[in-house]
Chains A and B, each alone.
Chain A
Amino acid sequence: MVLPHIPFPEPVPADDRAREDDRAREFERLLEPLLPVFFRHAFRWTAARDQAEDLVQELLVRLYPRMEELAALDRVQPWALRVMYRIFVDQHRRNLNSPVRPMHELSGPAAQQDPGDCFPDDAPQPAELVERELTGERLAAAWARLGEDHRVVVALHDIEGYRLEELSIMLDTPAGTLKSRLHRARTRLRQLLAKEPFADSVRARGREG
């Protein structure tokens, strides 16, 4: 019985291979210094190291074929972040279509809209936060529960210091829409912070007092 043979890719000629190796080295030289920056952004957007690594990995895969375009840029970072944001949005959309979803997203049609729109604007006012003691631990927990769109806009604007006009280009979204989103994101963050229990250390101090 003659069995079907699976074709195996032809070896790459040595010259092509050398060129490809040079190109790969140049790509690495160009982007390696920025990798921690991409990872930092990705982590803030996803709030999970594994997902952040997936995002950065996919970014590199998308950028490599466009290396010549990349090398000609004055500022690689905003351009690359724009690409990474598109990947992030695509992944987020895929997750929305996935049958496996985190519990806090299982709110029916509300899951399809901007998470900040799901809640009335009854957030505790900023001053209350001071009284409730703002700890890094509580903020990290609230941050992880913040909607992805909200994490992106707060991370880029409030943490990284991008202006709305810059973000409008980077995220391909009108500045007015971003401003509204930023407002809702901050409101939602305060709501989540208000619901976060106090850290054990804070509770312990309370008991001692």
Chain B
Amino acid sequence: MTQLDCTQVPAGIEDLLDGYLAGERAAELREHIVACQSCSRAHAASQALRAELGRLPVPAMRPGFAAEAFAAATRVPRPVEAVHPAPAAHSPRERRTPWRARWRRPELWIGAAVGAAAAAALVAVLWGVPQGGSAPGHAPGRVAEPSPGELQLSLYETREVGIAIDAATAMPGATLTITVAGGIDLAGFGERREVQWEADLDAGTNLLSLPIIAHSLEQGRLTALVEHGERAQRIEFAVRVNNPAPN
């Protein structure tokens, strides 16, 4: 047994296992550990704990997470700042809710019907407006009755789809997210299926026109999400794509 006091050994054991001890001090400690049953057990236990730590299981990433994470990270809404500069404290990146967190907040996702019925702070309604004109009874720039249901587009037809967003109060810096899926695209945005930007909403009805193009006969889905502070309103709309009538 060496002159080492056993109370000094535990910290030394960790340093020894970490590789931070060398030379005479390390040799002295090793000698003590070999000779002292209690410290030898402590040394073995520390080794066992480290080995077990290395075996702590790590689950696999959720299938599809990598693709979605890269898509979300590289989908930078540059036009946002050009069209509607946001104050520095509310830049899109700083305000951005993490991917999982955003999609894990079902309590904020009020369906259109529920939102309308409950007269929530934000109500979004959709109706189709033919490009360059207006839907029957829906003059551009006027409040339209919501006509829930399916919007129809012909293949390769571009259509301005109008969204009316009713805001109970003025909502500066609201975040708008438009997502398309299936056989439709946002005209001019290539493969980008989601556009997010910030806009100041006036109290009352605000109108938004979206250029939609049908690229395949698959049914399309258009989703509009409006977020302001802790409030959010989302509406989804199915878009049926028809074969154009033969000439």
Chain A residues with CB under 8 Å of chain B are 1-12, 14, 17, 20-21, 23-24, 27-28, 31-32, 35-36, 39-40, 43-44, 49-50, 53-58, 60-61, 63-65, 125-130, 134, 136, 139-140, 143, 154, 157-159, 164, 183, 186, 189-190
Contact = CB atoms under 8 A, between A and B. Distances in A.
Contacts, number: 179
B49 A126 contact: yes
18 contacts: A5-B141, A7-B83, A9-B82, A10-B83, A14-B190, A32-B66, A40-B58, A43-B59, A55-B98, A56-B69, A57-B73, A125-B45, A126-B10, A126-B44, A136-B55, A139-B56, A158-B53, A159-B54
Contacts of B82: 9-10
Interface in B67-113: 69-70, 72-74, 76-80, 82-84, 93, 96, 98-101, 104
A125 B202 contact: no
B191 interface: yes
Contact of A64 (B54, B61, B66, B73): B73
A134 B52 contact: yes
B50 interface: yes
A87 B52 CA distance: 28
A182 to B, nearest CB: 8
A164 to B, nearest CB: 8
Contacts of B59: 43, 49
Given A8-B208, A27-B73, A60-B73, A139 B53 contact: yes
B46 A65 contact: no
Given A6-B208, A61-B73, A130-B48, A183 B11 contact: yes
B195 interface: yes
Contact of B10 (A2, A4, A125): A125
